Amino acid sequence: QIPKDPTQRWLRELTALSQQLQQVHPNVLAKILKQRTVYQNEEIVVIDKPYGLPVHGGPGIKNCIADVLPILAKMLENMKAEPLHLCHRLDKETTGVMVLARSKEAAEKIRLLFKTRQVEKIYWAIVLGDPDPVEGVVEIPIVEKEVQSHQSHYKMTLAPNYRLRPEDGKVVKTRGDRSAERAVTRYRRLAAASACSLLELQPITGVKHQIRVHLAYGLGCPILGDHKYSHWSKLAPQKLPELTLRRLKLEQSKARHLPLHLHAHRLCLPLGQPLDFVCKPPFFFQKTLRKLELDIPKD
């Protein structure tokens, strides 16, 4: 039964987003990924990764991309193909351009390109607030820490190696956390409206959850629907500005259903000649842009 009220209908769609692909048969999932293939040649297959689909398996995960790579390879190659290989990862909630390799050699070559930062990656994110300045680079190391609260959990967080001296506000270097990883993210604002912004992001390094942490804790602009990094000490749904809720026609009590609005928009891979791949944001992301009156830049 489909609700008549468009807001209720949208809420139903959002709630279903993360569950849908966990319920389907692996063959059906492989078929979905086949339909979402944007490019293939003898070395690689590029897919537009759907929302809510983990790349790797884990506790409580029924379906993931890694598990269906052998089935997908057969579907693409008419039955006698070696399984495809993962070259990089995207978070479960991130959508967009993802590269798979047809052989171990190709996978190693592409992993090396990612590791040596020769792959240009451009993401789009809808964030709360407005970054100040509207364009710049966040360069703050990131480390994983345990959050001590009534529900202890682990989160990535900033480990800056500078601090402000309380007596005179001067910037002084501190001893960095040994286990922290260097993390650099370029960003620029593409549009702003409804107490939100659309940002274009270029992660120069590839630390786990880097974009989410840099935006939330570095710029104070968490990604819309990022319930994990909108607070530090608790696990709770994101608190949205009044104007944003009004435009989305949502109540704060339903904010927990909002999906993460982070999309791998473009990827440039220097394989022989540079290969440039672009994936349009998913339907729910475009719908949010419209509701918030954020104008999509024309490429």
Q: What average pLDDT does the chain have?
A: 91
Question: Does residue 63 carry a pLDDT above 80?
Answer: yes
The more confident residue out of 213 and 20 is 213
Average pLDDT over residues 19-47: 92
pLDDT value of position 79? 58
pLDDT digit string, tens, across residues 99-132: 999 999 999 999 999 999 999 999 999 999 999 9
Average pLDDT over residues 21-36: 91
Question: Does residue 260 carry a pLDDT above 80?
Answer: yes
Peptide bond into 133 cis (omega under 30): yes
The torsion angle over the Cα atoms of residues 49, 222, 122 and 28, rounded to 10 degrees, is 0
State whether CATH 3.30.2350.10 applies to domain 120-269+282-290: yes
Angle between helix axes 65-77 and 26-35 (nearest 10 degrees) is 60
pLDDT digit string, tens, across residues 150-199: 777 889 999 988 777 888 888 788 776 778 999 999 999 999 999 999 99
pLDDT value of position 80? 64
Residues 6+ apart with CB under 8 A from 132: 219
The more confident residue out of 18 and 171 is 171
Catalytic residue from among 67, 91, 130, 177: 91
Reference 174, options 185, 159, 184; nearest CA is: 159
Question: Does residue 149 carry a pLDDT above 80?
Answer: no
Give the rounded percent of residues in the chain with a pLDDT score beyond 70.
96
- Can you tell me the distance from the alpha carbon of 128 to that of 122, in angstroms, rounded to the nearest whole number? 19
Reference 65, options 111, 42, 99, 113; nearest CA is: 99
pLDDT digit string, tens, across residues 135-147: 999 999 999 998 8
pLDDT value of position 78? 63
pLDDT value of position 12? 81
| The CATH number fitting domain 12-116, selected from 3.30.2350.10, 3.40.50.920, 1.25.50.20, 3.40.50.720 | 3.30.2350.10
- Say if strands 120-128 and 196-203 run parallel, antiparallel, or are unpaired: antiparallel
299 pLDDT band, cuts 50/70/90, is low
91 is catalytic: yes
CA angle 161, 167, 169 (to 5 degrees): 50
Give the E-state strand segments of the chain in sequence order: 37-40, 44-49, 85-86, 95-101, 120-128, 135-139, 142-147, 153-158, 162-164, 171-173, 184-193, 196-203, 262-271, 273-278
The answer to whether 211 and 201 have CB atoms below 8 angstroms apart is yes
pLDDT digit string, tens, across residues 213-257: 999 999 999 999 999 999 877 778 999 999 999 999 999 999 998
List the domain boundaries for the chain.
12-116, 120-269+282-290
